[in-house]
Structure 1
Amino acid sequence: MTPAQLSTTIVDALQALVDQGSLTLPDGVPSEVTVERPRQKGHGDYATNVALQLAKKAGTNPRALGEALAVQLRAAEGIGDVEVAGPGFLNITVEAGAQGKVAAEVVAAGAAYGRTDTLDGQRINVEFISANPTGPLHLGHTRWAVLGDAIARVLAAAGAEVTREFYINDRGVQMNNFAASIIASALGEPKPDDGYAGAYIDDLAKAVAAASPGIFELEGDERLAAVRAKGYEIQLKEQQDQLAGFNTHFDVWFSELSLHESGSVPETLASLKEKGHVFEQDGALWMRTTDYGDDKDRVLIKSDGELTYFASDTAYYLNKRARGFDRCIYLLGADHHGYVGRLRAMAACAGDDPAQTLEVLIGQLVKILKDGAELKLSKRAGTIVTLDELAEEIGVDALRYSLARYPADSPLVLDVAEITKASNDNPVYYVQYAHARTCRMLANAADLGMVLPDLTTGFDPALLDHERDGELLRALAEFPRVVASAAELREPHRIARYLEDTASVFNKWYDTKECRMLPQGDEPAGPANLARMVLVVATQTVIANGLDLLGVSAPERM
C-alpha cells in the first residue's frame, strides 16, 4: 500500500463518518490526506495528523475524532492496526500482503513508476545556461547544465509538458569582437583589447579556414561578417556537442538575433505602448517597471537609438507566452539577483500575473578543489576550466550527481578526490553500487534457474513479512511522492537524497539473513525466495528511475 493509496483509504473513512452522520465537515471531506513515515520504530508503518487538522472544523476534539476514524480504518482492507496516540495522531500498521503489493506495482510499472499527474496540463518552458556562442562552456555553466536538465526531467515526470530551451546570445558587439579575435589569430596579429583569448580561438581560426577556404582573404566588413557567421556556427556546434556528451539535451535553441530579424522587438514595444507602460525621457524610451515593484524604470531604447538587452528580454518573454507556455522558468547565475524584480515587473507590464507565469531561480557558485587547491586554469580557455575538462577529470556521472544533490541556492565546494573515490562515503558510488548489487543478485538468480514469477498468480505479497521487507517496501512506496515534491518545489536534490536513503535501507535488507533472496545450498527456490526476487527487481527499478531523473547512469557492474 503506497502513501497515496492509504491517503485515499483515510479519505474514504472520513466520508463514511460523514455519511453516517457522526461527523460534520462544513468545508467537505478533503480530497487527500497527508501520510508520513513515523520517525520511531513501534509507531506503525505510517502516521497522519488528520484528526488534529479537522477536529476544530468538525466541532469535536482531536482525540475523539481520531478514535472514530480508527474504528473505520481498522475495518478497511489492507489495514492491520490503528493506534490513536497523544492528542489524536493516528499510527497505522499495514498488513504485510497489502504492503507487499507495492513491489508488484513497481515491477509492473517499470520505467513509468514514480511518474504522477500532479502537473498534468501545464506547459512549462525551462530556460537554462543561455551562454554566449563565443567560447566553450565552463564551470560557471556546469551547475545549470545539471540542475536545469534535472528540473525539466522531474517536471515531466510529474505530468507537465516541458520544453528545455537555450537562448543563444548571438546579437551584439561581443559577436564582432569574437570574429575580430579569430581573424587576428588567423593573420598572426595581436588580439583586440576587447577580444577573446585562449587556445580555443586559435583552434577556431584553423577550423574556420578549413571549413571556408579563402575566407580570411576577404576584406573589411565582408570578412568580419563571414568569419562571424562561420565561427559562430562552429562554436555553437561545439557547445551542443559538449552538452550532449554531458547528457544534457535541449528541445529549442533560440536565437536572440531572430527576435530582431523577425520584427518581434518592434511589435513588443508597440504592444507595451498600447498598454501605457512606455514613456520617453531624455531622448530614450523607457518601460515604467516601478509601477510593479522594480527599483527603477528600465531603458528599452537608448538615446542613440540602440536597443537594450532588456528590450530583447521582454520580446523573448512574450515570444514564449505566444508559443503557449503557461509558465516560464529562468535559471540564472548568482550575479543575476537584480534580474528577478525587473523580469517580474516586465511580465506585469505585459499584462501577466508574474506569480503565475514567470519564475526565476538563482544558483550559487561552485568551486572544484583538486589536491587542496581550486581548479581554475584551463588548457583551452586560459582562465577557467571548461565543462569538457571537468567531465574528463571527474566523470559525467560523478559530476552530475554531485551537483544535483544540493539545492541551487547553496554555495558549493566539491573535492575531486572525494566525489570520484570508489567508496561508500561517496554518495554517487553508494547509490550506483546498490543498483549494481541488484543486477548481480538477479544474475545469480538466473544462474540458479530462478525466473521472475507471474505478478498475479505466482507472487504472494504476504510473504514479504519481515521487518526489513516492510522498511524497504515503504521506502519504495515513497518514490512517487518524492518525485512530485521535487517537481513542485523545483528541487531535484530531493531525488538524490531519497536514493541515498533507499540504498541504505536496501543494504540493511541485503545484510539480513532472514531476507535472503537466493536459496541456500541445494534447496530449490521457494515462494518466499521468488517474492523477494520481485522485491529486488522493484528496488532495481526505483534506483534506476531515480538516477535517470538526475541524468545519471545505472550501471550493472561496478
Structure 2
Amino acid sequence: MKQNVKKVINDSFDDLSDEMGWSGEIGDAIDISTPKDIKFGDFSCNVAMILASRHKTKPREIAEKLSERIRENELFSSVSVAGPGFINMTIKPIHWVERLKEILDADESFGCVDTGESKKVLVEFVSANPTGPLHIGHGRGAVVGDTLARIMRKAGYDVHTEYYINDVGLQMDNLGRSTIARSLEALGENFDEPPYKGDYIKDIAQLFLKTKDADLFSKSDDKLVEEARDFTASRIMDDIRADLKEFRIEFDEWFSEMSLHANGEVEKTIEILKENNHIYESDGALWLKTESAGDEKDRVVRRANGVTTYLASDIAYHKNKFDRNFDTVINVWGADHHGYVPRMKAVVKALGHDPSRLVIRLVQLVSLKKSGQSLAMSTRAGVFTTLREIMDEVGVDATRYFFLMRSSDSQLEFDVDLAKKQSSENPVFYVQYAHARCCNIFVTAEERKIDLALLDKNIDLSLLEGGDELALIRKLLELPNVVESCAISLQPHPVTQYLTDVSALFHYFYRHNRVVTDDPALTRARLFLTKAVRIVLRNGLDILGVNAPERM
C-alpha cells in the first residue's frame, strides 16, 4: 500500500510541476510513515518540506497544493495538511480489505520481497572455538545469524551460511593438554592443573582412554598432545553440531581454519599483501598496516619465531570469502570483538575490496535470570550455562524467540521463569496461542458444517470494514515491509514485535467479535480474515525458526 501511496504523490508532483514551476524529481527522497495514532490517517508524508527547501517556499503552501491533487485520487477517503506541512492520508476501507486476497493467494510466500535482487550474501555466525560446549551467549549469536539469513532469503538475496572452525593455535594445544591431565587423573597419576576445567573434559578423557592403546603415554609429548587435541576437538564439534541442529540451525558449510594452512592460503595471502606494501617487517616479525585505517596500532601477522597469528588466518579466510564472489560478507560476532572491526575493515581494503562490503553485526551479552540469580560464565573455569541446558529447560521455541526479542546490540536478560509460563505473559506463548486460536476457529467451523472449500468465493468484503477488522488488516499487510526493513537494517528483532502486535490485534478482535455466527455471509468474511491472520503468524514464526502449533 505504501508503494501505491508513493506513486500517487509522485504522479501528483509531476502533474503540478509545470504549473507551479517545480523542478527535478522527488523519487525515493520522500518519507512515507505510519502515524502512531490512526486519527492522523494511515500514512503521513514529508514531501512538502523537501520541496520547500529546494524551491525556497513555505512547506505548508506546497502541502496544500499537493493535497488538493492527491485528494482527487479514489484511493483516499481523506487528505489533510497538518503542522508545518505534513500531508496526512487515509485510505478508503475497501482498498485495505481487498488486499486480504493477496495474503491468501501468496500463502507461504506472503512476506517475500525482491529487495535483494538475488545478490550473493555470505552470513558467518557462531564460529565458536571448539574448546567447550556452546553457552547461552553463543546461542544468541546463533539465532541472530540464522534469523538474519532467513530474513534475507525472504527478501530475495542468495544466502550462504557458514561456521568458521577455529581449530589451530595454542588454545587447541591447551585443549589437548586438558584431556591428557584429566586422563592422568582418572588413572590415579600425578597431573598438572588443566587449562580447561569443565566436567565435559573429564567425560572426554574417559572416552579418550577407552579408544587409545595401552602405550598411549609412552609417546612423545608433541604426539600425545596432537592426538588428545584432535580427539577432543572432534568430540566437542560433534556436540556443537548436534546442539545447533536441535536449535534448528543448519550451515551450508563448516569451514576449517586448518584447511587454510594445509592448502597454503595463509602464506599466499601474506605474500600478496607484502607485494602490495600492506605488510612490512620489523624486529624479525611481519606487521599489517592497520593503524592508518583506525586500528589502535599495526598488527603482527607472523611472529619473529615464524609462527603466524590468528589474524593471519583471518585475513586468508576473508580473502577466501571475497574470492567466492559474494556481493556482501556478513560476520555476526560477540560484542568482545568490537576492537577487531576496524582491523578487518583495513584487511578488506588491503585485499582490494570495498570495506563496505564487509558488514559486522555485534551481539551483546546475555545474562540469565532465574529465581533472581545470575551466573557468571567462563569456558575455562567450566562455570557457564550451556545452550543445551536452556533448550532442555524452556524448549527450542522459547529459547529462539527470547534471544530475538531485543536488538542484538543491546544486552539481554533471559528470564527463564517467564519463558516457561503457559500464559499470555510469555511473549512466545502469546503469539503461538494466537495461531492455535485461528486453527481452532476452523475446527469449530467444520463442526458447524461450514464448507471451507468455498471460503475464498462469494466473500462480501464490505463486512470487514469495521474498526477492529481494519486495524488488524492494516497490520497483516505490513509483513512484507517488515521483512524488507529487517533485511536492510540487518536486525531481526522487529519481527518479534510485529508478531506481538498482530497477535494483540487478533486477540482483541476475537474477544469482541464472534467469527462463526448465524449469519453465513458474515461468517465467511470473518473466516477469510482469520485465515489471513493464520498465514501471517505462521510465516512470521517461520522466519524466526519457531513452530506455529495448531493446538495448545
Q: How does the TM-score come out when normalised to structure 1?
A: 0.91
Separation (CA, whole Å) in 2 of partners of 1:430 and 1:83: 37
Corresponding position of 1:541? 535
**Change beyond 3 A, Cα 1:529–1:290:** same
**Change beyond 3 A, Cα 1:357–1:456:** same
Corresponding position of 2:476? 476
Corresponding position of 2:252? 251
Superposition deviation, residue 318 in structure 1: 0.7
Corresponding position of 1:389? 389
Superposition deviation, residue 451 in structure 1: 3.9
Pairwise mapping of residues 17-416 of structure 1 onto structure 2 (< 5 A)?
17-18=16-17, 21-31=18-28, 33-58=30-55, 60-187=57-184, 188=186, 189=189, 192-208=192-208, 216=216, 219-220=219-220, 221-354=222-355, 356-375=356-375, 382-416=382-416
> 1:373-421 CA distances to partner (integer Å, 9 max, x unpaired)?
1145899984112110111122211121111011112122222112221
Q: Quick check: 1:525 aligned with 2:520?
A: yes
Asked if the contact 1:334–1:362 (Cα under 8 Å) also holds between the matched residues in 2, the reply is yes
* Equivalent AA in structure 1 for residue 429 of structure 2: Y
Q: Quick check: 1:553 aligned with 2:547?
A: yes
Structure 2 residues without counterparts, runs of 5 or longer: none
Superposition deviation, residue 171 in structure 1: 0.8
Q: State the superposition RMSD in angstroms.
A: 2.5
Deviates more, 1:308-317 or 1:6-15: 6-15
> 1:29-72 CA distances to partner (integer Å, 9 max, x unpaired)?
41475333222233223222223333433565433433333333
Local SS of the residue matching 2:25: coil
Local SS of the residue matching 2:39: coil
> 1:109-150 CA distances to partner (integer Å, 9 max, x unpaired)?
112111211222332222222111122111231110121112
Deviates more, 1:294-303 or 1:330-339: 330-339
**Change beyond 3 A, Cα 1:510–1:482:** same
Separation (CA, whole Å) in 2 of partners of 1:292 and 1:377: 34
Deviates more, 1:291-300 or 1:61-70: 61-70
Corresponding position of 2:444? 444
**Change beyond 3 A, Cα 1:41–1:173:** closer
Deviates more, 1:299-308 or 1:155-164: 155-164
Separation (CA, whole Å) in 2 of partners of 1:32 and 1:121: 25
Deviates more, 1:537-546 or 1:196-205: 196-205
Structure 1 residues without counterparts, runs of 5 or longer: none
Local SS of the residue matching 2:33: coil
Corresponding position of 2:15? 16
Separation (CA, whole Å) in 2 of partners of 1:164 and 1:205: 32
> 1:250-274 CA distances to partner (integer Å, 9 max, x unpaired)?
1111100001111111111111112
Corresponding position of 2:6? 7
Asked if the contact 2:198–2:381 (Cα under 8 Å) also holds between the matched residues in 1, the reply is yes
Corresponding position of 1:508? 508
**Change beyond 3 A, Cα 1:225–1:22:** same
Separation (CA, whole Å) in 2 of partners of 1:178 and 1:197: 10
Separation (CA, whole Å) in 1 of partners of 2:348 and 2:416: 42
Separation (CA, whole Å) in 2 of partners of 1:103 and 1:207: 59
**Change beyond 3 A, Cα 1:86–1:177:** closer
* Equivalent AA in structure 2 for residue 389 of structure 1: E
* Equivalent AA in structure 2 for residue 256 of structure 1: E
